[in-house]
């Protein structure tokens, strides 16, 4: 049987003094490939590899866990652009199949690659702003770094 602690938590003024994080500003900075905290340092060291920390403010980027969310979001965004365009073109114009593939496939490929890094930066900025996955000031004990 698990017993619960009945000791009340005593809140102090210092508990409420945490860094304010604007979600939209952090996502905008991440979308531009910049540090979500200061907006100055680079977020990425390679195409999809985040830097270990910000060169300007020293924010540690290693706890981020973007995983597959950026890819899913890119699929949704590009799909909402390409599918209506394809349906409109195919219903109003009778283009040959080879022309359709020659136009739609490269556009889909280039648009997906162009959006992948900015969307991943926005996801990392969102995680930082919401204090997710180790971006908080006091990470829980007993969880080893990955």
**34-47 pLDDT tens trace:** 999 999 999 999 99
Task: Kindly indicate the confidence band of residue 74, based on its pLDDT and cuts at 50, 70 and 90.
Answer: very high
The pLDDT, as a whole number, for residue 57 is 87
- Written as six digits, the tokens of 100 are 């359709």
pTM recorded for the entire structure: 0.79
The pLDDT, as a whole number, for residue 141 is 55
Average pLDDT in the 64-87 region? Answer: 94
Instruction: Show the CA angle centred on residue 62, arms to residues 61 and 64, nearest 5°.
Output: 75
The pLDDT, as a whole number, for residue 146 is 40
Helix (H), strand (E), coil (C) string for 13-82: HHHHCCCCCCHHHHHHHHHCCECCCCCCCECECCCCCECCECCCCCCECCCCCCCCHHHHHHHHHHHHHH
- Taking the C-alpha atoms of residue 136 and residue 130, their distance in angstroms, rounded to an integer, is 8
- What average pLDDT is seen over the chain? 86
């Amino acid at each position: 049987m698990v017993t619960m602690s009945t000791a009340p938590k005593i809140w102090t003024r210092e508990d409420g003094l945490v860094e304010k994080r604007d979600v939209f500003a952090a996502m905008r900075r991440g979308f531009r490939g910049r540090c979500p905290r200061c907006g100055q340092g680079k977020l990425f060291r390679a195409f999809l590899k985040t830097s270990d920390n910000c060169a300007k403010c020293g924010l540690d980027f290693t706890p981020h866990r973007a995983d597959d969310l950026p890819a899913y979001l890119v699929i949704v965004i590009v799909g909402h652009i390409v599918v209506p365009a394809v349906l409109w073109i195919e219903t109003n114009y009778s283009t040959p199949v080879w022309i359709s593939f020659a136009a739609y496939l490269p556009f889909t490929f280039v648009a997906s690659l162009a959006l992948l890094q900015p969307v991943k930066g926005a996801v990392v900025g969102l995680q930082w702003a919401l204090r997710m996955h180790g971006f908080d000031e006091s990470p829980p004990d007993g969880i080893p770094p990955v």
